[in-house]
Amino acid sequence: MRAAIFITTFLASTVEVIEMVIIVVGVGATRGWRSTIVGTVAGFAVLAVLVVGLGAALVAIPIGILRLVIGTLLLVFGIQWYRKGVMRVAARGFAGIAGIPLTEEAEWTGPGMDWTAFALAFKGVLLEGLEIAIIVVSFGVAAKELGLAAVGGLSALVLIGGLGLVLRGPVRRIPRSVLQLIVGVMLTTFGTFWALEGLGVNWPAGDGAIPGLLVWYLGTALLYIGLERRRLLGFQARA
Amino acid sequence: MERIWSWLSAFGGFWYGFIFGDDWTLAATAAVGLLLTAVLNARGFVAWWLVPVLVIVAVGISLRRASRAQSRVAA
């Protein structure tokens, strides 16, 4: 269970950090680094306050209600990633997002603070980071492993964020679609398990139902990928 | 005021995207599945299988709908 929590929060954070890094590096490279870094730091500061506040608020809620609410939230979010992951893996396989062009902004040459760079970096960090914060906090609190979940999220942030700042290319080649599918399967699995536990449902084999759900969702994802690929091949043959 | 409104709408958009994403029927199916499970469980029926089955069926229907829409656009 502990390993699954670390892996899920690490991979979920990796998916979002890739986008965050691309936004920050893109803005920094085109509009200058000073305002971009200030915007990034401000975004992280707001995120840190949100994580601490959200974590403190959630631990005060009884575990049954918490698992129902968090499980439902993870389930609906997990299904979205599950569906997106199936579609993207079927269409692009293990390709990263290297082929997707960046939004180029005009270079900033004026004096003082570049508020456009600040706002772009701040918004990018906050909006991408908000999903990480919600997944990490909800996952950690529901499993009573908030520290471990936070380590998973922070590890991804430091590792992928650092890699992205030093070497821009490799981060864009990480197979984000595959990661999204894996995380979608894991979030759907834990979301289903916790939401039903919150409703008072007794799972056959208790926690042992988790690997069963994982196999069920992963197996059907592979089946759907196969069907989507066949449809895409047929579509290309007709074109 | 305009900036505050823009941030609020971005925050609202974030939550809409987080819960409903590209296809709202998936979240609706999950909600209906949980509701039915709660009712069945309260009446003493074994209901743990219902949500996993409904999720898979809903995703299958959603993928099919997306494929058809894609084909229509391309045609």
Contact status, residue A133 vs residue A51, Cβ threshold 8 Å:
yes
Q: Which residue does chain B place closest to A84, by CA atoms?
A: B22
> Closest Cα of chain A to B43: distance in Å?
12
Q: Flag whether residue A12 sits within 8 Å of chain B, measured between CB atoms.
A: no
Q: B51–A220: do the CB atoms touch at under 8 Å? A: no
Among B26, B41, B52, select the one facing A76 at the smallest CB separation: B26
Q: Which residue does chain B place closest to A224, by CA atoms?
A: B60
Cα(B44)–Cα(A155) distance, rounded to whole angstroms?
A: 44
Q: Within a domain: residue B11?
A: no
Q: Which residue does chain B place closest to A215, by CA atoms?
A: B52
Cα(A13)–Cα(A128) distance, rounded to whole angstroms?
A: 9
Q: Within a domain: residue B7?
A: no
Q: Within a domain: residue B62?
A: yes
Question: What is residue B33's three-state secondary structure?
Answer: helix
Predicted TM-score of the model (pTM) = 0.76
Using a CB-CB distance cutoff of 8 angstroms, which residues of chain B are in contact with residue A213? 52
Q: Residue A71 is encoded by which pair of tokens?
A: 């499980």
Q: How high is the pLDDT of residue A104?
A: 46
Task: Give chain B's domain count.
Answer: 1
Is the pLDDT score of A124 beyond 90? no
Contact status, residue A198 vs residue A68, Cβ threshold 8 Å:
yes
Q: How high is the pLDDT of residue A105?
A: 47
Calculate mean pLDDT across residues A196-211: 91
> Closest Cα of chain B to A85: distance in Å?
11
For the purposes of burial, counting CB atoms within 10 Å of the CB of A92, is it exposed (0-12), middle (13-18) or buried (19 or more)?
A: middle
Is the pLDDT score of A236 beyond 70? no
Q: Residue A163 is encoded by which pair of tokens?
A: 């890699």
Confidence of residue B47 (pLDDT cuts 50, 70, 90): very high
Q: Which residues span the domain enclosing B67?
A: 21-74
Q: Residues 198..227 of A with a Cβ closer than 8 Å to B: which?
A: 199-204, 209, 213, 216-217, 220, 224, 227
Q: Residue A127 is encoded by which pair of tokens?
A: 């909006």
Looking at per-residue pLDDT, the higher value among B24 and A161 belongs to B24
Looking at per-residue pLDDT, the higher value among B6 and A24 belongs to A24
Q: A82–B62: do the CB atoms touch at under 8 Å? A: no
Q: Within a domain: residue B49?
A: yes
Cα(A146)–Cα(B11) distance, rounded to whole angstroms?
A: 25
Q: Residue with structure tokens 């003082």?
A: A112
Q: Within a domain: residue B64?
A: yes
Cα(A5)–Cα(A183) distance, rounded to whole angstroms?
A: 11
Q: Which are the contacts of B38, defined by CB distance < 8 A and separation ≥ 6?
A: A199
Q: Residues 102..131 of A with a Cβ closer than 8 Å to B: which?
A: 123, 127, 130-131
Confidence of residue B25 (pLDDT cuts 50, 70, 90): very high
Q: Flag whether residue B61 sits within 8 Å of chain A, measured between CB atoms.
A: no
Contact status, residue A85 vs residue A180, Cβ threshold 8 Å:
yes
Cα(A190)–Cα(A141) distance, rounded to whole angstroms?
A: 13
Cα(A126)–Cα(A159) distance, rounded to whole angstroms?
A: 19
Cα(A176)–Cα(A19) distance, rounded to whole angstroms?
A: 10
What count of CB pairs under 8 Å joins A to B? Answer: 90
Looking at per-residue pLDDT, the higher value among A181 and B15 belongs to A181
Q: Which are the contacts of A212, defined by CB distance < 8 A and separation ≥ 6?
A: A205
Q: Flag whether residue A73 sits within 8 Å of chain B, measured between CB atoms.
A: yes
